[in-house]
Structure 1
Amino acid sequence: MTVAEPRLTLERRLLKEHPIVIACDEVGRGALAGPVAVGAAVIDAPRARKRVPQGLRDSKLVPELRRPDVAARAASWVSASAVGWSSSAEIDEIGIMRALGLATIRALADLRAHGIVPEEAIVILDGNYDYITPAGATGLLVRPVIKADRDCASAAAASVIAKVARDALMTELHDDEPVYGWARNKGYASPDHRDAIRSHGLSAQHRASWSIADAPTLF
């Protein structure tokens, strides 16, 4: 099966009206444990004229062993990038959608600290819903785009950068709680993860408000 390659068609069109495009995509939304992460990748007109890095795809379509290399090349290609986080405790307290919004706001704050002005950008948000504005963001122009991580190279870059960062964190957390197998399942609801929860209960990294029975099976 041929996998569609992300392009810069939308970004180039938007850059005719805006000085920069910031693409955002989340990872970890369906996990049982660990934080949710949102990647943010900045594209300006000079970057949009460059070739998309070879192998860049939505992170789900990049083999795990190749992701760090693809993420590194994506980070070098974009003008700037950042990853924002929202913890499992926050997800329990405020719900997943608001947590996604907070993680995005934190990623944008990181970009701001590096000289990017988000209010000057148009923000491409993967999906069909703007979860940034309800979380308290003001002055942003947000454009939800379904399958942006598949079709837009900037969103694919945000996706793979965030995925590699979150996978690395879950691998580190595995050392503290090895019974859950987070180095393998990255906090998602794999059979071995479910079995470990049944045997050992929930850890501090688990999202206690989530129903184990109803959780997604895998990535």
Structure 2
Amino acid sequence: MPVVVPTLEVEQELFASGTRLVIGCDEVGRGALAGPVAVGMAVIDHTVARVPDGLRDSKLLSEPRREAMAPVAEAWALYSAVGMASASEVDELGITACLGLAGKRALTALHELGVEILASTVVLDGAHDWLNPALTTRLRVVTRVKADRDCGSVAAASVIAKVRRDRLMIEAHAAEPVYGWSGNKGYGSAAHLAAIDEHGPSGLHRLSWLKVGAVATESRKTPLA
């Protein structure tokens, strides 16, 4: 099956309709048992004419390719940011609310960089708008299933967020190597689950998820993305 190459067709349609800025938005770490959930955002305007060669949804790239593409994606976007919500926040608020919280933090970072958020349209990967419920002022959000695969701005956000979160998990691995976070990035691999059974959870684990057998079981099926 040929790999789908992201384009700017959706973004260009939004520019044609009067949008000044498009903010591609994607989350990573939603299904992990440990570590934060991260939301990446990449901003472009109508002057951006093409998608960088090799840019893809982060799940379609190997780890070395993602590492190589992240600075390319950051240089290509006018602005980019990653917001995160911690494992303890996921325990307290739930994953959907934490997606919104991490997204709000990314938007705050963009605002501090000078991005006119209210003049923007957010293209959000998926079918559900989890961003607006976290905001005081509603934004124009366009949801699109597989936007991380099809839309250049969202693919860029995906890669930037994935690499940023992966690096945090690799750093955490150095302090607590028994969980294998440098390889599993906090997802529920068999070795990771065995380490939890043997050593108990760490401060980076989502304790509420470990208490629900169905979630832990489902995590075994979750791709390391």
* Coarse TM-score class (shorter-chain normalised): over 0.9
Q: Distance in 1 between matches of 2:82 and 2:12?
A: 23
RMSD: 1.0
Question: How far, CA to CA, are the matches of 1:40 and 1:137 in structure 2?
Answer: 19
Following superposition, the deviation at residue 114 of structure 1 comes to: 0.5
Deviation at 1:136?
A: 3.0
> How many Å separate the matches in 1 of 2:197 and 2:218?
14
**1:136 maps onto 2:135 in alignment:** yes
Q: Which runs of structure 1 show a deviation greater than 3 angstroms over 4 or more consecutive aligned residues?
A: none
Q: 2:217 aligns with which of 211, 214, 218?
A: 214
Aligned partner of residue 81 in structure 1, secondary structure? strand
Q: Matched residues in 2 for 1:193 and 1:7: separation?
A: 37
Distance in 1, matches of 2:67 and 2:53, equals 13
SS at match of 1:46: coil
Do residues 162 (structure 1) and 165 (structure 2) align?
Answer: no
1:20-39 to 2 correspondence within 5 Å? Answer: 20-39=21-40
Q: Secondary structure at 2:175's aligned position in 1?
A: coil
The 3-state SS of whatever aligns with 1:175 is helix
Once the two structures are superposed, residues 50-85 of structure 1 have per-residue CA deviations (whole angstroms, 9 ceiling, x without a partner) of x21111000000111111111111111111100000
SS of 1:45's equivalent in the other structure is coil
Question: Cα distance, 1:139 vs. partner?
Answer: 3.3
> After the TM superposition, which of the residue ranges 146-155 and 136-145 deviates more from structure 2?
136-145
Mark the runs of 5 or more structure 1 residues left unpaired by the alignment.
none
Q: Could you tell me how far apart the structure 1 residues matched to 2:146 and 2:65 are? A: 22
User: Is residue 97 from structure 1 mapped to residue 96 from structure 2 by the alignment?
Assistant: yes
- Displacement of 1:126: 0.5
Structure 2 residue runs of 5 or longer lacking an equivalent are none
Deviation at 1:118, TM superposition (A): 1.1
- Separation in 2, partners of 1:11, 1:30: 28
Tell me whether 1:124 sits opposite 2:123 in the alignment. Answer: yes
Deviation at 1:133, TM superposition (A): 1.3
Deviation (angstroms), 1:215: 3.4
Contact 1:105–1:137 (Cα < 8 Å) also in 2: no
Secondary structure of the 2:121 match is strand
SS in 1 for 2:122: strand
Q: Partners in 1 of 2:107 and 2:199 — Cα distance? A: 37
TM-score for the superposition, normalised by structure 1: 0.96
- Gap change, CA 1:72 and 1:117, over 3 Å in 2: same
Q: Secondary structure at the match of 2:35?
A: coil
